[in-house]
Amino acid sequence: MSDRFRLDGKTALVSGAGRGIGLAVAEALAQAGADVTLAARTADDIEGEAARLRAGGYRAKALRLDVLDVLAATDAIATAGPFDVLVNNAGSNRPANFLDVTPEDYDAVTDLNVRSAFFVAQAVARGLVAAGKPGSIINMSSQMGHVGGQKRTVYCATKHAMEGFTKAMALDLAPHGIRVNTVCPTFIETPMTKPFFADPVFRETTLAKIPLGRLGQLDDVVGAVIYLASDASGLVTGSALRVDGGWTAV
């Protein structure tokens, strides 16, 4: 059974792979046997990490990819692919009270979280279909794709949109053997988020909404991604895997 979680012989593309969840996922995919391409807008963010993985005996390369430039990104993915696995991780947030959201905030978050994610997935899917290969597309969503959150109207809108297009993509791509799912984390403790959790009030109010009583860790998200990328989830498509400690169960 453990072999079903291996990714030997598979190629994987991870967007937003320069740090945090994206980097942790890329490293785990490589450790599971995949040939991983780390993609990010800034080459400096990924070239060193790809080199570090290669030095550890894994297969990894860097790809400068500005997902906001849809045409250039599509061409780059077509040239570098096909990819058996996509972890569609690039995303952003600009927390603000609904009354204070600006058009610039709305456009910036929506362009990255919805438009870019949509067309990156399309580019990977087109490569798989052209090659006659099955595959797994994993869209990095959020628990906020299933509930609302204060100061997160735009972010919630984008993640609800991702949940919707994931289901529809799964139906369109099922005849080609391409599975499409989301991973939906709660608040994950990373070097970037730790300063927020240093505020005891924020930490306490956040933990109060997580029935399991702890913040998410990178390993929690990584496990979900490896499962969805592997043959162990061969009959799973159009689903949302909520790694939220029970936040959305309440």
Residues marked as catalytic: 155
Contacts with 52 (C-beta within 8 Å, 6 or more apart), sequence order: none
Token pair in block for residue 120: 């990156």
| Phi-psi label, residue 151: left if phi above 0, alpha if psi -120 to 50, beta otherwise | left
Nearest one of 73, 64, 88 to 229, comparing CA atoms = 88
Separation CA 220–CA 21 (nearest Å): 10
Q: What are phi and psi of 74, to 5 degrees?
A: -60, -45
Q: Which residue has the tokens 């300063």?
A: 195
Q: What are phi and psi of 116, to 5 degrees?
A: -65, -45
Query: Counting Cβ atoms within 10 Å, is residue 95 exposed (0-12), middle (13-18) or buried (19+)?
Result: middle
Q: Walk across the sheet containing 60-64 and list its strands.
A: 60-64, 35-40, 11-15, 85-88, 135-140, 178-185, 240-243
Q: Where are the alpha helices (DSSP H) in the chain?
A: 20-31, 43-55, 70-80, 103-110, 117-131, 153-173, 194-197, 200-207, 218-229
